Amino acid sequence: MRLSFAIILLAISGTTASAETITGRASVIDGDTLDIRGTRFRLQGVDTPESAQMCGDAAGKDYPCGRKAAL
């Protein structure tokens, strides 16, 4: 369902000038970037941690927030 939502967001974002349709399995690169058959799509207006980024929780412990965003 998340992937469908992401594809819908890409479709309505209107950021591409090309009318070319790209089909295939989407792979998550990080929380705001998808790859479909070698073409990367960045979700406009979405800002998430990068895949290797670490963040601190309320207790001050580090956790892999970038990996969590990708999942």
- The pLDDT assigned to 71 comes to 86
Position with higher pLDDT, 70 vs 59: 59
Cα distance between residue 36 and residue 39, in whole Å: 5
Domain housing 56: 2-70
- The pLDDT assigned to 30 comes to 85
Nearest partner of 29 among 10, 50, 44, judged by Cα: 50
3-class state of residue 37 by DSSP: coil
Residue length of the chain: 71
- What tens digit of pLDDT does each residue of 4-62 get? 555 555 555 555 555 689 999 999 888 889 999 999 999 999 888 988 999 999 999 99
Tally of domains in the chain: 1
Cα distance between residue 62 and residue 20, in whole Å: 42
- The pLDDT assigned to 13 comes to 55
- The pLDDT assigned to 5 comes to 54
